[in-house]
Chains A and B, each alone.
Chain A
Amino acid sequence: EIVMTQSPATLSVSPGERVTLSCRASQSISSNLAWYQQKPGQAPRLLIYDASSRAIGIPARFSGSWSGTEFTLTISSLQSEDFAVYYCQQYNTWPPACTFGQGTKLEIK
């Protein structure tokens, strides 16, 4: 099973800052990775697919990149509505298996 490891678990940042979230795969998954945002009391929302493609309606301040098995979600200038939990998900072995990272919580500093 491919294990997805996100770091850090919690990140305290100030509005307006640039932030980088990391997700590492335990083996190669090519670019078969998505990022989701989940706000309290809400369902997750797709942000990025295929490691770097923005989903419909996602602001340009969100971007994704990767190198090898290291994946990065960057938010160029944090807005108040961006404080949430972010999950990565690999779909290289889908179907039938896909795995999520454990999440990174972005909180206000």
Chain B
Amino acid sequence: QVQLVESGGGLVNPGGSLRLSCAASGFTFNDYYMTWIRQAPGKGLEYVAYISGGGDYTFYADSVKGRFTISRDNAENSLYLQMNSLRAEDTALYYCVRVKDLYYFDNWGQGTLVTVSS
């Protein structure tokens, strides 16, 4: 079955950096677009970044553009999110999510928590 396991979250100072990873299994990874979606504590869902199956197309929410970079390694079935210049408002649970039919989100990991605080 499809499994998505995130790692790399933690506590970081404002202005710092963090790299999230997602290990995928149970499906042909390079056949699917992937995305990161986050959820601040007690809040709703927010799309962060999106990458095509081959990694040649990437898109970002305006709130993270220029600070975050999404990438993937199809040989390793892994998805990444490099987060730089972190702000308090980036504090959230970050989900690794598979995109179905290019449009909606059919499989979610359990999330990794990022806390930005001094």
Chain A residues close to B by CB (< 8 Å): 32, 34, 36, 42-46, 49, 55, 87, 89, 91, 94-103
Task: Count how many chain B residues have C-beta atoms less than 8 Å from C-beta atoms of the other chain.
Answer: 22
Which of chain B's residues has its CB closest to A34's CB? B104
Q: Can you offer 8 A-B residue contacts whose CB atoms are under 8 A? A: A34-B105, A44-B105, A45-B108, A46-B100, A95-B50, A96-B50, A96-B60, A97-B61
Q: Which of chain A's residues have a CB closer than 8 A to the CB of B46?
A: 100
Output the least CB separation between A87 and chain B (Å): 6
Q: Are A89 and B104 in contact (CB under 8 A)?
A: yes
The one of A42, A91, A98, A103 in contact with B44, judged by C-beta atoms closer than 8 angstroms, is A103
Q: Are A102 and B105 in contact (CB under 8 A)?
A: no
Tell me whether B80 is interfacial, beta carbon within 8 Å.
no
Which of chain A's residues has its CB closest to B6's CB? A43
Chain B residues close to A by CB (< 8 Å): 44-47, 50, 57, 59-61, 95, 100-111
Q: Are B103 and A87 in contact (CB under 8 A)?
A: no
Which 5 pairs from chain A and chain B are nearest by CB? A96-B59, A43-B108, A34-B104, A91-B103, A100-B45
Query: 19 extra interchain contacts, Cβ-Cβ under 8 A, other than A45-B108, A99-B47?
Result: A42-B110, A43-B108, A43-B111, A44-B45, A44-B105, A46-B100, A46-B106, A49-B104, A49-B106, A87-B45, A89-B45, A91-B103, A91-B104, A94-B103, A95-B57, A95-B59, A96-B59, A97-B47, A100-B45
